[in-house]
C-alpha cells in the first residue's frame, strides 16, 4: 500500500489510543539504527556469505567453527549496541498500556536483547537468544555472555571478505559439562520454534485490536504468518519500514521511514 498520509497517521493513532490489546512484531530493522546488521540485501553480508546462509543446520554441520565465528562477531556487535529511540518508544507504549490495564505483547524475531534493555517486559523471542547456548548432546540451555566465546576465537569474526580466515578445530569450540558441543540457542531454517513461543504468539494475535509490524522483510515463517493471521481475525495492522515488506498488502497503514524516526512520533499517545 502507498505511504500513509498525515490524516492516516491521526486515524492510526486514534485506533491505537482506543485499543485494549496491542501486539508488536519486530525484525532486524528495529536494531539497524543501533548498529546491528540486518539479514537480507546489502546489509546482510558477512565476508562472502549472506547471513541467512550461516543461520542454518547445514552450515553448522559443514563447519561449526565458521558458524561460531559468525555468532562471535554478532555477540560482539550486540554487546556494544545500545537501544535506539524505536526500542524505547515500544517500551514506553507497553508501560502506558500495562498501567491502564491493557494487554501488550512484543513478538520479536531478533536475538539481541535491546528491547529488554529499553524496558520492554512482555517479550517473545521467536528465534531465540544470542546470549544463550544449547548443548547439542544433552539439550541443556544456559546463559552465556563470553566474548570471545572461547579463547580460540579471540580476534576472530571480522566481516571483511579479505580477512584471512582460519579453520577452528572441535577442541576450539565451546563445550558443555557433559562433553557435548555448545551451539547458539537460536532457531535456524528448518528448525521448529519453541512451542511455548508459538502458543504465546497465537495468544497475542487472538483478539488483538492493533498490530504494529516494524523493520521486518516478513518473508520468514511462521513469524510473518502471524501478520496474515491477525488480518484474518480482523485486526488493524500498521507497518513501519524503510520499504514495503512482503505483508505490506495486508496492512491498513504504511509509515515509510526509519523506525527510530517514526516510532517516537507515532507512539507518542496515551491510552483512552
Ligand atoms: C528498517 C530499517 C530501519 C532496515 N527502520 N526498517 C511457509 C511458507 C514458506 C516457507 C516456510 C513456511 N513455513 C516455514 C517455512 C520455511 C522457513 C521460511 O520461512 N522460509 C522462507 C524464508 C522461504 N521457516 C523456517 O524454517 C522456520 N522453521 C519452521 O517453520 O519449522 C517448521 C518445523 C516444524 C516442526 C519440526 C521442524 C520444523 C524457522 C525460521 C528461522 C529463521 N531464523 C533466522 C536466524 C535466527 C538466528 C539468528 O538471528 O542468527 O531468523 S533467519 C533470519 O530471518 C532471522 C531473522 O529473525 C529472520 C527474519 O529476518 P528480518 O528480521 O525480517 O530481517 P531482514 O534483514 O529480512 O529484513 C530487515 C527489514 O528491516 C527490511 O524490511 C528493511 O527494509 C527493514 N529496515 N533498516 C525500519 N532503520
Ligand atoms: Zn550437555
Residues 162, 211 share a domain? no
**68 with 198, same domain?**
no
Catalytic pick from 73, 87, 115, 127?
127
**Residues 256 and 142 occupy one common structural domain:** no
1 vs 68, which has greater pLDDT?
A: 68
Q: Is residue 28 within 6 Å of ligand 1 at its C-beta?
A: yes
Higher pLDDT, 131 or 5: 131
| pLDDT (tens digit per residue) in 108-155 | 999 999 999 999 999 999 999 999 999 999 999 999 999 999 999 999
* CA atoms of 140 and 22, how far apart (whole Å): 33
Residues 41-89: tens digit of each pLDDT = 877 889 889 888 899 999 999 999 999 999 999 999 999 999 999 999 9
246 and 118 share one domain = yes
- Phi then psi for residue 130, to 5 deg, are -70, -15
Name the domain count of the chain. Answer: 2
Residues of the domain holding 141: 37-80+128-186
Active-site residue flag, 127: yes
Mutate to test the pocket of ligand 1, among 25, 26, 27, 113 (most ligand atoms within 8 A of CB): 27
**28 shares its domain with 91:** yes
% of the chain beyond a pLDDT of 70: 100
Decide if 117 contacts 136 (C-beta within 8 A). no
Whose cell is 528491547? That residue is 115
User: What pLDDT was estimated at residue 181?
Assistant: 98
145 & 121 share domain: no
Same domain, 250 and 207: yes
Pocket test for ligand 1, best of 67, 215, 229 (most atoms within 8 A of CB): 215
Residue 7 pLDDT grade (very low, low, confident, very high; cuts 50, 70, 90): confident
Atom of ligand 1 nearest to the CA of 186: 47
CA distances from 20 to 96, 221, 240 (A): 11, 27, 21
164 vs 213, more confident: 213
Q: Tell me: do 101 and 113 sit in the same domain.
A: yes
Q: Are 235 and 209 in contact (CB under 8 A)?
A: yes
Is the separation of the CB atoms in 215 and 30 below 8 Å? Answer: yes
Residues 205 and 270 in one domain: yes
Helix (H) or strand (E) holding 200, with range, is helix 195-205
Please report, for the domain that includes residue 47, its CATH number: 3.30.1600.10
> 168-178: per-residue pLDDT in tens?
999 999 999 99
- End-of-domain residue from the set 169, 186, 203: 186
User: What tens digit of pLDDT does each residue of 199-240 get?
Assistant: 999 999 999 999 999 999 999 999 999 999 999 999 999 999
Domain shared by 149 and 255, yes or no: no
Sign of CA dihedral 5, 226, 83, 43: negative
Amino acid at each position: 500500500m502507498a505511504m500513509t498520509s498525515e490524516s492516516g497517521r491521526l486515524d492510526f493513532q486514534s485506533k491505537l489510543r482506543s485499543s485494549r490489546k496491542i501486539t508488536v512484531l519486530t525484525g532486524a530493522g528495529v536494531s539497524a539504527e543501533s548498529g546491528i546488521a540486518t539479514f537480507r540485501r546489502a546489509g546482510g553480508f558477512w565476508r562472502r556469505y549472506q547471513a541467512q546462509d550461516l543461520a542454518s543446520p547445514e552450515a553448522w554441520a559443514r563447519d561449526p567453527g565458521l558458524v561460531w565465528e559468525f555468532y562471535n562477531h554478532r555477540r560482539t556487535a550486540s554487546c556494544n549496541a545500545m537501544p535506539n529511540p524505536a526500542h524505547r518508544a515500544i517500551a514506553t507504549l507497553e508501560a502506558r498500556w500495562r498501567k491502564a490495564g491493557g494487554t501488550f505483547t512484543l513478538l520479536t524475531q531478533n536475538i539481541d536483547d535491546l528491547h529488554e534493555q529499553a524496558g520492554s517486559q512482555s517479550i517473545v523471542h521467536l528465534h531465540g537468544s544470542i546470549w544463550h547456548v544449547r548443548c547439542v548432546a544433552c539439550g541443556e540451555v544456559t546463559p552465556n555472555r563470553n566474548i570471545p566465546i572461547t579463547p580460540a576465537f579471540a580476534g576472530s569474526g571480522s566481516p571483511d571478505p579479505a580477512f584471512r580466515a582460519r579453520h577452528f578445530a572441535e577442541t576450539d569450540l565451546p563445550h558443555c559439562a557433559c562433553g557435548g558441543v555448545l551451539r547458539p540457542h537460536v532457531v535456524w531454517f528448518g528448525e521448529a520454534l519453541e512451542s511455548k513461543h508459538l502458543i504465546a504468539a497465537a495468544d497475542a494475535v487472538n483478539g488483538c485490536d492493533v498490530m504494529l509490524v516494524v523493520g521486518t522483510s516478513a518473508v520468514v515463517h511462521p513469524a510473518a504468518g502471524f501478520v496474515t493471521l491477525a488480518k484474518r481475525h480482523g485486526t488493524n495492522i500498521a507497518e513501519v519500514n524503510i520499504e514495503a515488506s512482503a505483508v505490506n498488502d495486508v496492512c491498513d497503514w504504511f509509515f515509510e521511514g526509519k523506525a527510530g524516526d517514526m516510532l517516537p512520533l507515532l507512539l507518542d499517545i496515551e491510552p483512552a
